[in-house]
C-alpha cells in the first residue's frame, strides 16, 4: 500500500438529477471516511459563498434574470475560482467529496438548448474527478420525493432533458448507482467505490484534467 502521508487525496464527484440524494450521500460519505481515518472534506457547486456564487444563487432563486450563456459561464467561473485550492488540498492528501461539478454545468445548460461542445469548452483544464458517482433515478421517481422547491430548474419536463444529457456525458470515470434503493444501501455501495478510488490515488494514480 502507498504511504498515506505522501500521497494525494481523491477527487470524488457525485452527480444526478435533483432529489437523487447527492447532498445526503455526500455528507454521510465524509463522516464515513473520517471514521476510517481518511482525511476528507465536503465541497459543493455552486459554491454560493463567493461573489460569483451569490450571483448564481440569486439567479437560481429567480431573484435575477441572466442570459443562458452568461449563467453558464458564471457556473464555470465558480469552479475555476476554486481550482487552485482544490489542487492544493488534494496534494496535501485530502480527499474531496464534491456535490455536483462540470457534468451538472454541461447537462443543465445543454438541456436549455445550448450547444454541448460550447458548454464543455470553459470546463477544459479543470481537474478531472478520479471517480464520478452517478445517482441514477428516473425524473418521475425523483419528483415523487417531493420537496421540489421554487428553484428555477425544478420542473419534471426540464429534468427529463437533463437526464438525457447526463447520458451523453457518461464516460469511463463514471460508476452508476441505483438511487432508488434505501439510503443505507446506496451508502454502502458508495463506500466501496470511494475506498477503491482512494486506494488507487494512494498508489500513485495521477491527477488529470477535463475532458479526458
Nearest approach, Cβ of residue 144 and ligand Z5A (Å): 9
At how many degrees (to 10) do helices 102-111 and 156-169 cross?
A: 130
Which residue, among 52, 51, 55, 26, has the nearest Cα to 41 in the 3D structure?
26
Question: Pick from 2, 23, 136, 199: which binds Mg ion (CB under 5 A)?
Answer: 23
Least distance CB 55 / ligand Z5A (angstroms): 13
The nearest distance, CB 99 to Mg ion, in angstroms, is 6
**Residue 120's binding partner, choosing from Mg ion, ligand Z5A, none, with beta-carbon cut-off 5 to 8 A by kind?**
none
When computed from its CA atoms, the radius of gyration of the chain, rounded to whole angstroms, is 17
Residue with cell 465541497: 43
Nearer to ligand Z5A, 99 or 130 (CB): 99
CB of 92: closest distance to ligand Z5A in angstroms? 25
Contact positions vs ligand Z5A (CB under 6 A): 16, 18-24, 45-46, 60, 75, 99-100, 104-105, 108, 145, 147, 151, 153-154, 179, 182-183, 186
The partner in contact with residue 18, picked from Mg ion, ligand Z5A, none with C-beta cut-offs of 5 to 8 angstroms by kind, is ligand Z5A
Helices (H), the chain: 22-35, 51-60, 68-91, 102-111, 116-120, 139-144, 156-169, 183-202
Q: Which residues bind Mg ion (CB under 5 A)?
A: 22-23
Amino acid at each position: 500500500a502507498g504511504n498515506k502521508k505522501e500521497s494525494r487525496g481523491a477527487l470524488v464527484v457525485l452527480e444526478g438529477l435533483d432529489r437523487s440524494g447527492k447532498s445526503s450521500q455526500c455528507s454521510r460519505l465524509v463522516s464515513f471516511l473520517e471514521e476510517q481515518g481518511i482525511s476528507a472534506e465536503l465541497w459543493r457547486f455552486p459554491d454560493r459563498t463567493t461573489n460569483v456564487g451569490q450571483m448564481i444563487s440569486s439567479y437560481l432563486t429567480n431573484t435575477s434574470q441572466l442570459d443562458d450563456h452568461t449563467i453558464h459561464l458564471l457556473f464555470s467561473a465558480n469552479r475555476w475560482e476554486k481550482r487552485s485550492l482544490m489542487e492544493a488540498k488534494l496534494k496535501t492528501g485530502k480527499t474531496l467529496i464534491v456535490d455536483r461539478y462540470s457534468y451538472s454545468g454541461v447537462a443543465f445548460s445543454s438541456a436549455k438548448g445550448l450547444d454541448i461542445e460550447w458548454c464543455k469548452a470553459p470546463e477544459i483544464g479543470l481537474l478531472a474527478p478520479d471517480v464520478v458517482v452517478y445517482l441514477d433515478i428516473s425524473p418521475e421517481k425523483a419528483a415523487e420525493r417531493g420537496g421540489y422547491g421554487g428553484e428555477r430548474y425544478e420542473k419534471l419536463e426540464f429534468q427529463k432533458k437533463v437526464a438525457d444529457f447526463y447520458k451523453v456525458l457518461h464516460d469511463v470515470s463514471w460508476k452508476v448507482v441505483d438511487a432508488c434503493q434505501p439510503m443505507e444501501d446506496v451508502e454502502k455501495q458508495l463506500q466501496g467505490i470511494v475506498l477503491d478510488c482512494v486506494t488507487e490515488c494512494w498508489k500513485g494514480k495521477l491527477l488529470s484534467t477535463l475532458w479526458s
